[in-house]
Amino acid sequence: MSEVAGPAVQAQMLVRRPLDEVFEAFVDPSITTRFWFTGSSGKLEPGAKVIWEWEMYGVSADVHVRSIERPSRILIEWGEPATTVEWQFTPLGAEATLVQICNTGFRGTQEEIVGMALDSMGGFTLVLAALKAWLEHGIALDLVADRDPEAHVAP
Q: Quote the pLDDT of residue 81.
A: 87
pTM of the full predicted structure?
Answer: 0.94
pLDDT digits (tens, 9 = 90+) for 86-123: 999 999 999 999 999 999 999 999 999 999 999 999 99
pLDDT digits (tens, 9 = 90+) for 12-33: 999 999 999 999 999 999 999 9
Mean pLDDT of the chain: 95
- For residue 14, give the nearest of 91, 122, 104, 105 by alpha carbon: 91
Could you please state the CATH topology (level 3) that the domain comprising 4-149 is classified under.
Answer: Alpha-D-Glucose-1,6-Bisphosphate; Chain A, domain 4 (3.30.530)
Confidence band, pLDDT 50/70/90 cuts, at residue 4 = low
Confidence band, pLDDT 50/70/90 cuts, at residue 1 = very low
Q: Is a pLDDT exceeding 50 seen at residue 35?
A: yes
Q: Which helix (H) or strand (E) holds 19?
A: helix 19-27
- Region 30-42: what's the mean pLDDT? 98
Domain range annotation of the chain: 4-149
- For residue 104, give the nearest of 21, 8, 5, 4 by alpha carbon: 8
